[in-house]
Amino acid sequence: QVQLVQSGAEVKKPGASVKVSCKASGYTFTSYDINWVRQATGQGLEWMGWMNPNSGNTGYAQKFQGRVTMTRNTSISTAYMELSSLRSEDTAVYYCAREGYDILTASKGGMDVWGQGTTVTVSS
Amino acid sequence: AIQMTQSPSSLSASVGDRVTITCRASQGIRNDLGWYQQKPGKAPKLLIYAASSLQSGVPSRFSGSGSGTDFTLTISSLQPEDFATYYCLQDYNYPRGFGQGTKVEIK
């Protein structure tokens, strides 16, 4: 079945970096953009950025510019999100999500497949 | 960036009630809007895309409407499994933007 499987929980010290992986299966990895979304405990969803796995093109939310890097390895159908200069406010669950497309109506299909989430804790 | 304003932030309702949640965009986004349901400890789940298209496998009691700047998610008859938090998301352009969320609680 179509799924995204993320890497496990991470605990990092302030100032460190974290790299979260998102492995796709059940579909052609290069055919759908991947978004990254995070959620701090008790808070709403926050969009971080997107990547086109075919071209490697990316776009980041202004808030994360200069600290986030999204990459991919097409040979293993895996997307990565690296966040550097971590601070306590980066403690959150990080999700990857596929951006779908409705072929029948030629319309955007929403974020139709989500990873299970990766908890990143930043603490000294 | 396009701002998404969702209301109400929370509501209390009973099983069987009709529930309506609204989302307003700070500028026109055609019909490029989705609705998501999230339960505690779980990833969000897509309910509606392109403002009114029901995602495969989602019960027909969920419906969406709207275009331009004003959008609505309706649950025609609230079921016990529908108590959750709901978010709208514009996918008209980048940066993407979520609404603040609406928590649907049991009355």
Give pLDDT tens digits along chain A (124 positions).
Answer: 999 999 999 999 999 999 999 999 999 999 999 999 999 999 999 999 999 999 999 999 999 999 999 999 999 999 999 999 999 999 999 999 999 988 887 888 899 999 999 999 999 9
Contact criterion met (CB below 8 Å) for A12 and A120? yes
In angstroms, the first-to-last Cα distance of chain A is: 40
Q: Using CA atoms, how far apart are residues A29 and A34, in angstroms rounded to an integer? A: 9
For residue A79 the two structure tokens come to 């997307």
pLDDT at B21: 98
pLDDT at B40: 96
Contact criterion met (CB below 8 Å) for A54 and A35? no
All residues of chain B having their beta carbon less than 8 Å from the beta carbon of residue A35 are 96
CA distance, residue B50 to nearest chain A CA (Å): 6
pLDDT at A103: 81
pLDDT at A13: 98
Query: In what helix (H) or strand (E) does residue A3 lie, and over which residues does it extend?
Result: strand A3-6
Tell if the CB–CB gap between A95 and B53 is shorter than 8 Å: no
All residues of chain A having their beta carbon less than 8 Å from the beta carbon of residue B90 are none
pLDDT at A86: 98
pLDDT at A108: 85
List the one residue out of B75, B8, B28, B70 whose CA is nearest residue B48.
Answer: B75
Contact criterion met (CB below 8 Å) for A109 and B52? no
| 3-state SS, residue A101 | strand
pLDDT digits (tens, 9 = 90+) for B2-12: 999 999 999 99
Sign of the alpha-carbon dihedral angle for A36, A41, A45, A46 = negative
Residues of B with CB under 8 A from a CB of A: 1, 31-32, 34, 36, 38, 43-46, 48-50, 53, 55, 87, 89, 91, 94-101
Q: Which residues contact A66 (CB under 8 A, 6 or more apart)?
A: none
Distances (CA, A) of A23 to A39, A78, B69, B100: 20, 4, 35, 29
Contact criterion met (CB below 8 Å) for B107 and B46? no
pLDDT at B2: 97
Q: Using CA atoms, how far apart are residues B68 and B33, in angstroms rounded to an integer? A: 10
pLDDT digits (tens, 9 = 90+) for B67-80: 999 999 999 999 99
